[in-house]
A and B are shown apart, each in its own frame.
Chain A
Amino acid sequence: MAASAAVRSSMGLTLRLSRVIPDCSTCPLFRLKCNAKNVANLQRRGSFDSLRTINRHLQTSIGLYHSEEGSSNAEHPEDVVNVVYIDRSGQRIPVKAKVGDNVLYLAHKHGIDLEGACEASLACSTCHVYVSAAHFDKLQEPEEREDDMLDMAPMLQENSRLGCQIILTPELDGIELTLPKVTRNFYVDGHVPKPH
């Protein structure tokens, strides 16, 4: 139990490090990118996600000007796993990942708004994703505790999994992970969620 707690807390630290929103205002690249017009453009796309992930967009696009840590040209090609996230507005975000990457932390690294409230400790369902049909069966069976938390997720589907429990393997190359539309379009048939 101590070992898993240690793993959890180190994963938590990784999460915190990857989620720190940098104070970009001191960087010349930031000033280049963040003029009013740019901000307004993001806004005019009409997507709520653009507005609120401003920091994350800036973070990732600034990243492109530097060599990204763990970028694939430094790795063996067989270590690369191509992943596509489909965010809540339907936008496809392709990501080059590595074998062993955790789907939740990978999402954070690339500014994708997959929450992980309990920091991968199977105590929430905020990292709920839908897995592409072709890859769903290639995942390891969920343990009972994951199924218990999945039961709490709104809009549960046959291909639902918790992102924090998916570790990338070579055979998951091409996997597509869709973030459920949990806000607003919640229950399109007017169904009211049961209290618990």
Chain B
Amino acid sequence: FSGCGKASLSSCSPKVCIVGSGPAGFYTAQHLIKVDIYERLPVPFGLVRFGVAPDHPEVKNVINTFTQTAKHSRCSFYGNVNVGKNVSITELQQAYHAVVLSYGAEGNRSMGVPGEDLAGVYSAKDFVGWYNGLPSCRELSPDLSCETAVILGQGNVALDVARILLSPIDILKKTDITQPTLEALAESQVRRVLIVGRRGPIQIACTIKELREMVNLPDTRPDMVAADFDGVKEALKDLPRPRKRLTELMLKTALEVPGEKEQERRSKASRTWGFRFFRSPVEVLAEPGHSRIAGIRLAINKLEGSGDGAQAVLTGEVEDVPCGLVVSSIGYKSLPIDPSVPFDSRKAIVPNTMGRVKQAAGLYCSGWLKTGPTGVIATTMNNSFDTARSILEDMDSGTLDMSAAKPGSQSISALLEKRGVKPVTFSDWEKIDNVEMKRGESRGKPREKLLTVEEMLHVAWT
């Protein structure tokens, strides 16, 4: 490797490590010749395991690609290692020529309104974590004994939450949704879900696949406000293809008189869902004398401008919507991992240029930590390939100092052992994987996830 000067191939091997084993971590690893991946949980794959909805198993196929990468001899996985707590970024930088931060966004944007902390109000991040078996969300136990749920935000995560709340149990019980969630949903009284956005139909953030799933969801019917769609049909012709197709489907669902068969299907449906536009939360209302939610107060907006850049402007009017469940789905948010790493708290990302962390030689970032928490796996893939390319370019050009040999995992493993931290290897994860799949088999599910770190470690090390 020319990056090590004129030294022969074997004497100075580049040592690179990645923090985080989600899509960003693994796609970055895919293009690096030798790499160690550190993961806080005993199990890998990040949001592919804990974010992608249980009824979207094909999206999780990417795990096969990641598994190939992990099992390749040039890649080593170290689970159960909390970077920032068990080992610092500085220590990683001493052990590796390059450290890549790919730990994503584990926080969420708050609505910033009174009543946000009332019982019955959840962030989508926690709600999704709960139905996907994220250990830290195990105790969420949302109260589903109300008729109406209001979701703030209209992105794909909001639609995932709506779909999970309204899907027939017979469909969900064949997925890898957790057993406690399945039991809670079987008892759920929720029959109506409103998905609320600040702006109008043309600004909606979800994509057509997810909208189609709602439209086709068995035993449900759409409930929209026709007036919300004034002027939308006229704007269609100027829209780019993806936005046009999405808007056409919305218009059809909201305004078109359904045929006989669809009319019959809708009349038999026991559950409803609908978008509400031009609404922003201003307060979550409590039952008088209680700390439980009774409803949500929404400000009514009007739109200034058009297209992507349209702004929601308050009109001064408000409207109260009675409901017993509020899920705030207005965005995930990255958190700083270590004081030594530059962090832009306004954008909640690590400041960087093409994945190279600013003012921090040898430090890189990929995935949501690099660009902010939006985009699907494919977006993160391209983003991560870019960061890997930056690293390889820097090795090649000498920008990345490779003159000194670095100990890599040898020294980090020694450090961890001294601190009583035992990493979970990829083979250990495969034991967990096998146990989960076996448990799922008897229930007709692809897997029954282990729900606590203790259980995972127990299986990993037995």
**A residues apposed to B, CB below 8 Å:** 8, 12, 15-16, 19-21, 23, 36, 39-40, 43, 48, 51-52, 54, 115, 117-119, 121-126, 144-145, 147-149, 151-154, 156, 182-184, 186, 193-196
**B residues apposed to A, CB below 8 Å:** 1-2, 8-9, 31, 33, 56, 58-59, 61-62, 64-65, 68, 72-73, 155-156, 205-209, 212, 241-242, 245-246, 308, 354, 372, 374-379, 381-382, 385-386, 388-389, 392-393, 396
User: Can you give 23 contacting A-B residue pairs, CB < 8 Å?
Assistant: A12-B64, A19-B65, A36-B9, A43-B396, A48-B392, A51-B396, A54-B33, A124-B377, A125-B378, A144-B212, A148-B209, A148-B212, A148-B245, A151-B246, A152-B207, A156-B241, A156-B242, A186-B382, A193-B375, A194-B308, A195-B205, A196-B205, A196-B207
Query: A48-B389, A148-B208 known; A126 and B381 CB under 8 Å?
Result: yes
On whether the beta carbons of A123 and B61 are closer than 8 Å, the reply is: yes
Partner of A40, one of B2, B246, B372, B393: B2
CB-CB nearest in chain B for A40: B2
**Residues in A whose Cβ lies below 8 Å from that of B205:** 194-196
Separation of A121 and B205 alpha carbons in the complex (Å):
23
Separation of A195 and B347 alpha carbons in the complex (Å):
14
On whether the beta carbons of A43 and B2 are closer than 8 Å, the reply is: yes
On whether the beta carbons of A149 and B209 are closer than 8 Å, the reply is: yes
Separation of A15 and B59 alpha carbons in the complex (Å):
16
Query: A196-B155, A196-B206, A196-B374 known; A154 and B61 CB under 8 Å?
Result: no
On whether the beta carbons of B378 and A124 are closer than 8 Å, the reply is: yes
**Residues in B whose Cβ lies below 8 Å from that of A115:** 65, 378, 381
**Residues in B whose Cβ lies below 8 Å from that of A124:** 59, 62, 376-378
Partner of A151, one of B33, B242, B389: B242
Separation of A126 and B381 alpha carbons in the complex (Å):
9
CB-CB nearest in chain B for A35: B9
Separation of A151 and B443 alpha carbons in the complex (Å):
36
On whether the beta carbons of B61 and A121 are closer than 8 Å, the reply is: yes
Query: A51-B392, A183-B386 known; A117 and B381 CB under 8 Å?
Result: yes
A56 to chain B, nearest CB (A): 12
On whether the beta carbons of A52 and B31 are closer than 8 Å, the reply is: yes
On whether the beta carbons of A126 and B378 are closer than 8 Å, the reply is: yes
B391 to chain A, nearest CB (A): 10
**Residues in B whose Cβ lies below 8 Å from that of A147:** 245
Query: A16-B64, A48-B389, A184-B386 known; A118 and B208 CB under 8 Å?
Result: no
CB-CB nearest in chain B for A125: B378
CB-CB nearest in chain B for A151: B242
Query: A48-B389, A156-B242 known; A119 and B209 CB under 8 Å?
Result: no
Separation of A119 and B374 alpha carbons in the complex (Å):
23
Separation of A149 and B245 alpha carbons in the complex (Å):
12
B400 to chain A, nearest CB (A): 14
On whether the beta carbons of A117 and B207 are closer than 8 Å, the reply is: no
Partner of A152, one of B8, B33, B56, B376: B376
Partner of A196, one of B156, B354, B372, B396: B156
Separation of A142 and B62 alpha carbons in the complex (Å):
23
Separation of A121 and B155 alpha carbons in the complex (Å):
22
**Residues in B whose Cβ lies below 8 Å from that of A184:** 354, 386, 389
**Residues in B whose Cβ lies below 8 Å from that of A195:** 155, 205, 372, 374-375
Separation of A123 and B209 alpha carbons in the complex (Å):
9
Partner of B208, one of A15, A43, A48, A151: A151
**Residues in B whose Cβ lies below 8 Å from that of A23:** 73
Partner of B388, one of A8, A52, A122, A193: A52
A21 to chain B, nearest CB (A): 6
Separation of A186 and B58 alpha carbons in the complex (Å):
27
**Lowest 10 CB-CB distances: which A-B pairs, in order?**
A195-B374, A151-B242, A121-B58, A123-B58, A119-B61, A52-B31, A117-B62, A148-B209, A123-B59, A48-B389
**Residues in B whose Cβ lies below 8 Å from that of A52:** 31, 388, 392
- Known contacts A126-B377, A144-B212, A183-B385; 15 further A-B pairs (Cβ under 8 A): A43-B1, A48-B392, A115-B378, A117-B381, A118-B62, A119-B61, A148-B207, A151-B246, A156-B241, A183-B389, A184-B386, A186-B382, A195-B374, A195-B375, A196-B156
On whether the beta carbons of A8 and B72 are closer than 8 Å, the reply is: no
CB-CB nearest in chain A for B373: A195
**Residues in A whose Cβ lies below 8 Å from that of B33:** 54
Partner of B61, one of A51, A118, A152: A118
B182 to chain A, nearest CB (A): 20
A7 to chain B, nearest CB (A): 12
Separation of A12 and B205 alpha carbons in the complex (Å):
31
Separation of A26 and B234 alpha carbons in the complex (Å):
66
Separation of A139 and B186 alpha carbons in the complex (Å):
45
Query: A52-B31, A117-B378 known; A151 and B245 CB under 8 Å?
Result: yes
Separation of A164 and B62 alpha carbons in the complex (Å):
15
**Residues in A whose Cβ lies below 8 Å from that of B73:** 23
Separation of A19 and B65 alpha carbons in the complex (Å):
9
Query: A12-B64, A23-B73, A123-B58 known; A196 and B209 CB under 8 Å?
Result: no
B9 to chain A, nearest CB (A): 5
On whether the beta carbons of B64 and A119 are closer than 8 Å, the reply is: yes
